[in-house]
Amino acid sequence: MSRHYEAAIIALDETGAGYEVSGDRLRAQVASVAATLRGLGIGQGDRVVGYLPDTPHAIVAFLAAASLGAVWSVCGQDYAPRAAADRFGRLEPTVLIAADGYLFDGTTHDRRDAALELARSLPTLEATVLVDHVGLSWPQGDYPALTLAWEDAVTRTEQLDCTPVPFDHPLWVVFSSGTTGLPEGIVHGHGGVLLEQLKTLGLHSDLGPGDRLLWYTTTHWMMWNLVASTLLTGATTSTYDGSPAPSARPDVLWELAARHRVTLFGTSPQYLLGMAKFGIDPSVHDLSSIRAVGCTGSALPASAYPWVRDHMGERVQLASISGGTDVVSGFAGSAPTSRAGPGSCPRPIWASPRLRTTPKDFRWSTR
């Protein structure tokens, strides 16, 4: 956060709107929210949770909690209150930060009642911070704990004082999907996350000052953690609220990537397949700033490689990445010094002889 007036975060949404948060502004907001949390009694080891869409509010809240040595966890508002409580309830959080709603495919989803229901499901809460994101008025209701407005929390004039913590002090808790039972929380420490994210983002993705990342994600997917961690490299990161391909403008992510001169565009195999299926041509936008398209979330089909080549040119690297919530990073992925084609992956991110691949004919690229 030392880039002062340069953009640290670009806040985007499916309508095509956007604004930038400078390094100085981000630092000031983090300092203000940290002071607010400190005033609520938050300190080392306390849990702060967010029921938030992918907006700068989530990154600011996370950094503020981390600066105090508190433990952060977040999930998106498409989760029902019960699903969110199944996760957060295990953490016994002290503070909940919740938005009034989110955007998706042309609809503003009102989550005020859901946020209140979630707060009532967390008996350890001492305060709820209410975020006015989509412009819905928070009702005067019977909240289970002290409430305060995000606008009040984020506009104080404060110094940012970071609390020193041990290398393995918990930073955040990321939850498994919960498809085979209750979601399992996985705790990651400050030092390990720092090394993993610098390795994945700084080395394998080659991000640094002057770069801009736009990677579609939700706050409960581990890719959100990478999006937030992009700040470690000195690059600009982006948040995005909405559908990746809204009906009204299905190519809006490409449009935004062109407008904001994104250098690394991140997505999923299903997104690329959808673009091909519906005949979306990203080359109608000036994508000359993009040097790589990162892709993860499922197996990348062979057909994606010629599609990216034909619509974006030979110079753009299609980087298939494999990782997991357990490491909140990658096991195998891109390398700026080599390219890979269908059925291959450039390099193991963990350069370990124990890394095995499936199927048997999977190969590492040596080109």
Instruction: Calculate what percentage of the chain has a pLDDT beyond 90.
Output: 78
**pLDDT higher than threshold 50 for residue 355:** no
**pLDDT higher than threshold 90 for residue 160:** yes
CA–CA separation, 265 and 13 (whole Å): 15
For residue 39, the tally of other CB atoms under 10 A from its CB is 12
Is the bond leading into 56 cis (omega within 30 degrees of zero)? no
Name the pLDDT band for 366 (thresholds 50, 70, 90).
very low
Q: Which of 247, 222, 324, 85 is nearest to 332 (CA)?
A: 324
Which of 3.40.50.300, 3.40.50.12780, 3.40.190.170, 3.30.56.10 would CATH assign to domain 23-188?
3.40.50.12780
Strand ranges of the sheet holding 18-22, from the earlier edge strand across to the other edge: 18-22, 7-13, 237-241
CA–CA separation, 257 and 290 (whole Å): 8
Q: Given this model, what pLDDT does residue 286 score? A: 97
Q: Given this model, what pLDDT does residue 2 score? A: 45
CA–CA separation, 229 and 233 (whole Å): 8
CB 46 within 8 A of CB 275: no
CA–CA separation, 130 and 138 (whole Å): 8
Average pLDDT, integer, range 13-18: 97
Average pLDDT of the residues of the chain: 90
Average pLDDT, integer, range 331-344: 72
- pLDDT digits 0-9 by tens, 278-330: 999 999 999 999 999 999 988 888 999 999 999 999 999 998 888 888 888 87
CB 3 within 8 A of CB 234: yes
- Pairing type for strands 264-267 and 292-295 reads parallel
Q: Given this model, what pLDDT does residue 345 score? A: 60
Enumerate the domain spans of the chain: 23-188, 190-364
Which of 3.20.20.10, 3.90.1210.10, 3.40.50.12780, 3.30.70.360 would CATH assign to domain 190-364?
3.40.50.12780
Average pLDDT, integer, range 18-34: 97
CA–CA separation, 172 and 49 (whole Å): 10
**pLDDT higher than threshold 70 for residue 73:** yes
**pLDDT higher than threshold 70 for residue 349:** no
Q: Given this model, what pLDDT does residue 282 score? A: 96
- pLDDT digits 0-9 by tens, 115-144: 999 999 999 999 999 999 999 999 887 788
Q: Given this model, what pLDDT does residue 326 score? A: 82
Quick check: do 23-188 and 190-364 share a fold? yes
Question: Rounded to 5 degrees, what are φ and ψ at 253?
Answer: -65, -40
